[in-house]
Amino acid sequence: MNAFWIILTGTLVATSSGLLGAFLLLRKMSMLGDAISHAVLPGIVIAYLVAGSREPLPMLLGAAGFGVLATVLIEMLYRKARLQSDAAIGVTFTGLFALGIILISAFAGQVDLDLDCVLFGEIAYVPIDVWITPSGLNLGPRAVWILGGLLVLLLLLLGLGYKGLVITTFQAEYAAALGVSVSFWHYLLMSAVSVTTVVSFEVVGAMLVVAFMVVPPATAFLLTNKLQHMLALTVLLGLGTALGGYCLAAWLDASIAGAMSVVAGAFFLLALLLAPRTGYRHQLWQR
Amino acid sequence: MADIAVEAHNLTVSYHHKPVLWDVDFQLPQGSLIGIVGPNGSGKTTLLKSIMGLVQPDSGYVEIFGKPLEQVRARVSYVPQRESVDWDFPISVREVVEMGRYRPGRLLRRLDSTDKAIVRQSIARVGLEAFADQQIAQLSGGQQQRVFIARALAQQADLYLMDEPFAGVDATSERAILQLLAEMKVAGKTVVMVHHDLQTVQEYFDWVLLLNTRLVACGPVSSAFTEDNLRQAYGGQLTILSKVAHLVEEHDFPVRDRSKKQRT
């Protein structure tokens, strides 16, 4: 049963992160998830200092707030200071992460609030933290419910906002000419990325979130030239990655998050070699 | 002059404190094909973007059909430069043209059968029926340009702002676009186009706007597209100038004859 919960959790994270990651990839902002997972640290510390405890809700709010703030700063550096987008991402997240470290060492050093327990969840512990109703009914791991709820919200957002997201991603200038608010859709997507990153890394750790946000969409991008297919493939690859990663970890008795990331990378390599249009095999054949 | 399609007053636009357009005033008539011509960096694209409301002017304003843009946005359509998108984007010709049917208030709604029919017609008008389901990366440069034009047609606007639709275009696409422009003129549409090839200005356009940060001239091709004005717009760029002077003398365009007659 533990295996089932872990694979389900992995798949839920892979689906949420992957679907958003596909849009980030097309906007050439794939590393935004990584940036956000670091930039939220001051938000977590401030929430801790204000609330005076390690309750999850204030920390989540603080983190999500700083995630959005990071995307606003990145956008400002990119637009107003004319910095390249990757440089803007780098400047922003190192700055905010450093601010978080200073806050911890100056104000929260004497208590147990270090990176290991705040930033990095561990997917192997998911089945332990179960949700039991007052009447004693065991509903399964809490994380699965939270991630499942998040995924439903995201599917709603992507379903309803598909046209808006696609047109502003494909050609922001044309969208603006039609009168579509480019910044509304930008910040809607960025808020979704912030919340998803924060909720997910609390459960599975930052590395796995970033891996799921970048690698399956990049793999799917190589395999198809239709956006709907790319999104569907991303989800399938996420499922395959969670399943394969768990098996690999069980076989090697190694880190589950590490194994899942490796499997995601293996799928990517395979696509790189075999992709119908861009694959190495195809290029050899054309020669 | 016929009814006015676009009117600009004291339009000044700058990027990072450097003026790109300086105190530009003009009126463009409805139902004409209008070329915006000038050397590189003379503000042609910026002028188009100011008309479309994509850059904020430092001073001055633009009116379209006598109204501010917000009131007539549905009647204006924009064809950006081909380089402005990533052509590897996983999207088909049809899906790009469908964007011409998107409206800010109706983004959540599905496209209905009328929209679909308009999209089909627009693709047919630029001659890309056979490519409708292909991914845009598989098209030639000229075909990609025609996708943008089809999308603009799908908007069913009255004023079309096009940024160098002839740049890097093959002969087939050039013919297709010219044919379309002729049809649009007959239908009473106004087309304002950034154009960089001086040789074809007299052939393609009724009206020309010569730009070099400041407005050099704006009027019917016969009276505005003169050697004097070109020298003013292009300044010291001798190669282009001599080419044009050569062109004007060698062929002694009828356009030029007309302007001589007008003077006498």
Q: What is residue A167's predicted lDDT score, i.e. its pLDDT?
A: 95
Chosen for mutation from B99, B106, B109, B144 (greatest number of chain A CBs closer than 10 Å) is: B99
| Residue B258: pLDDT over 50 | no
Q: Which two tokens stand for residue A161?
A: 């906002």
What's the pLDDT tens digit per position in A178-224? Answer: 999 999 999 999 989 988 988 888 888 888 899 999 999 999 999 99
For residue B22, the model assigns a pLDDT of 92
8 A C-beta contact, residue A214 and residue A19: no
Mean pLDDT of chain B: 87
Write down the pLDDT at residue B261. Answer: 40
Ordered domains of chain A (ranges, CATH): 2-205 (1.10.3470.10)
Interface contacts (A, B; CB < 8 Å): 74
What gap in Å lies between CA A168 and CA A179, rounded to an integer?
11
Does the beta carbon of A229 lie under 8 angstroms from any beta carbon of chain B?
A: yes
* CB of B125 closer than 8 Å to CB of B119: no
Share of chain B above pLDDT 90, in %: 62
Q: Among A185, A162, A194, which residue's Cα sits nearest to residue A16?
A: A194
Q: Do B135 and A226 touch (CB under 8 A)?
A: yes
pLDDT in tens, A3-62: 899 999 999 999 999 999 999 999 988 888 888 888 988 988 888 888 877 677 888 888
Locate A246 and state its tokens: 């768990």
Backbone angles phi and psi of B245, in degrees to 5? -60, -45
- Of the ranges A5-9, A107-111, B12-16, B212-216, which one carries the lowest mean pLDDT score? A107-111
pLDDT of B7 reads 92
The contacts of residue A173 (CB under 8 Å, 6+ apart) are B54, B78, B80, B84
Q: CA dist B149 to A270, B37, B128, Å? A: 39, 20, 11
Q: Is the dihedral of CA A237, A241, A243, A247 positive or negative?
A: positive
Q: Do B103 and A179 touch (CB under 8 A)?
A: yes
Q: How confident is the model at residue B110 (pLDDT cuts 50, 70, 90)?
A: confident
Contact yes or no for B215/B209 (Cβ under 8 A): yes
Q: Which pLDDT does position B254 carry in this prediction?
A: 47
pLDDT in tens, B57-105: 999 999 999 999 999 999 999 999 988 899 999 999 999 999 999 988 8
Q: CB-CB: which of B80, B84, B90 is closest to A224? A: B90
The complex's ipTM?
0.86
Residue that wins the pLDDT comparison between A80 and A171: A171
Environment class of A22 (CB within 10 Å of its CB; exposed 0-12, middle 13-18, buried 19+): buried
Which distant-in-sequence residues (6+ apart) come within 8 Å of B125 by Cβ? Answer: B150, B153, B180, B183
Asked if the model's pLDDT at residue A259 lies above 60, the reply is yes
